[in-house]
Amino acid sequence: MSNLKSRPFSFGRHTLDLNQTQVMGILNVTPDSFSDGGRHNEFDAALYHAESMIKAGATLIDVGGESTRPGAVAVSEQEELDRVIPVVDALVRELDGLVSVDTSSAVVIREAAKAGASLINDVRALEKEGALEAAAASGLPVCLMHMQGQPQTMQSAPCYVDLLREVTDYLQKRVDACLGAGIQRDQIILDPGYGFGKSVEHNCSLIKHLKDIHALGYPLLTGTSRKSMLGAITGKDIPAERVMASVASALICAQQGAWVLRVHDVEETIDALKVYQAVQGAE
Ligand code: PT1
């Protein structure tokens, strides 16, 4: 029965239950993420989309202004600030959910914290200049992700001698850096980084062995939603056609111990989780 007791993970004034799988809705505020309309329309569309994901049951919204998918080009810090901070600010004021900021930049971390963000989600695990210090000073929880290489080139020839060991060793090394910088042990979330310098086989192996990463002792976040690994497995070339594959992968991650599922398709993922939880709760 002990796993039915609520165990809180604290985000400042808010907490989320560590014994309940959480769904994080993806909110891209990159220019390529909206097909038409000017700046104002983009802004309104972003708020509307965040609201609909919260209504569908997301407890976190992950706001990202730098595309980190394979081959994406880097954006300037000013551009990232201009895209992300107004959206974080509006969401914090208007939304009944926690706002996560998907960034590697110290300046964006500081400004997002000022605007009221609840989580720093960094695909570079706070390795960029000043990011670790900015995150520690913010007092916010952090999500540390593993990546091999950089987004521009990471999928050209991903290579590991001992995949699971290299990923866990890296994450432990970044945990140690965080603890050394004054980030509390209970403010850390880890992520294997699906699609970040990994072949389809690497990604599948890291889902299958997710429990070994969980054994480091931190809550896990997983992001497989609509990624090209699912396209390779199903033969679906268009990301929007990968919804069912995404839900299947998210559910497997949840069964393997993931706490937060970072997804595009919130409603569909929550339906799958409800079935999983109903079965878990049965005699
Ligand atoms: C992720 C993640 C993220 N993914 C966290 N943050 C992205 N913590 C952005 C493809 O292969 O998994 N965890 N922030 C998006 N990145 C990708 C990577 C998108 C690969 C697409 C692919 O299609």
Domain ranges for the chain: 2-281
The model's pLDDT over 73-87, given as tens digits with 9 standing for 90+, comes to: 889 999 999 999 999
227 catalytically annotated:
yes
> What tokens does 234 get?
């199903």
Q: What number of CA atoms fall less than 13 Å from residue 81's CA on the CB side?
A: 12
Instruction: Decide the pairing of beta strands 188-191 and 221-222.
Output: unpaired
Cβ–Cβ under 8 Å, residues 107 and 77: yes
Amino acid of residue 92: V
Mean pLDDT of 13-26: 96
Mean pLDDT of 26-42: 69
What predicted TM-score, i.e. pTM, was given to this entire model? 0.96
Mean pLDDT of 82-108: 96
Expressed in angstroms and rounded, the spacing between residue 199 Cα and the centre of ligand 1 is: 14
Q: Place 34 in a pLDDT band, splitting at 50, 70 and 90.
A: very low
Distance CA 160, CA 164 (A): 9
8: CB partners within 8 A, 6+ apart: 15, 16, 17, 18
Cβ–Cβ under 8 Å, residues 219 and 173: no
Quote the distance between the C-alpha of residue 103 and its chain's center: 10
Expressed in angstroms and rounded, the spacing between residue 5 Cα and the centre of ligand 1 is: 32
Expressed in angstroms and rounded, the spacing between residue 234 Cα and the centre of ligand 1 is: 18
Least confident of 32-36, 37-41, 54-58: 32-36
Q: Place 94 in a pLDDT band, splitting at 50, 70 and 90.
A: very high
Question: What is the residue with the minimal CA distance to atom 15 of ligand 1?
Answer: 69
Q: Give Dmax over CA atoms of the chain in angstroms.
A: 55
Mean pLDDT of 55-69: 95
Distance CA 256, CA 210 (A): 6
Active-site residue among 227, 236, 242, 274?
227
How confident is the prediction for the chain on average, in pLDDT? 94
Expressed in angstroms and rounded, the spacing between residue 34 Cα and the centre of ligand 1 is: 18
The model's pLDDT over 221-276, given as tens digits with 9 standing for 90+, comes to: 999 999 999 999 999 999 999 999 999 999 999 999 999 999 999 999 999 999 99
Please give the CATH superfamily to which domain 2-281 belongs: Dihydropteroate synthase-like (3.20.20.20)
> What tokens does 280 get?
């878990």
198 catalytically annotated:
no
Mean pLDDT of 92-102: 94
Mean pLDDT of 160-175: 98
Give the angle subtended at the CA of 247 by the CAs of 243 and 248, to the nearest 5°. Answer: 115
Q: Is the pLDDT of residue 1 over 70?
A: no
Instruction: Decide the pairing of beta strands 188-191 and 8-11.
Output: unpaired
Sheet containing 119-122: give its strands across: 188-191, 142-145, 119-122, 98-102, 60-64, 22-28, 260-263, 221-222
Least confident of 3-12, 49-58, 203-212: 3-12
Amino acid of residue 203: N
Active-site residue among 83, 174, 226, 262?
262
Mutate which of 194, 213, 249 for ligand 1? The one with the most ligand atoms within 8 Å of its CB, which is 194
Amino acid of residue 25: G
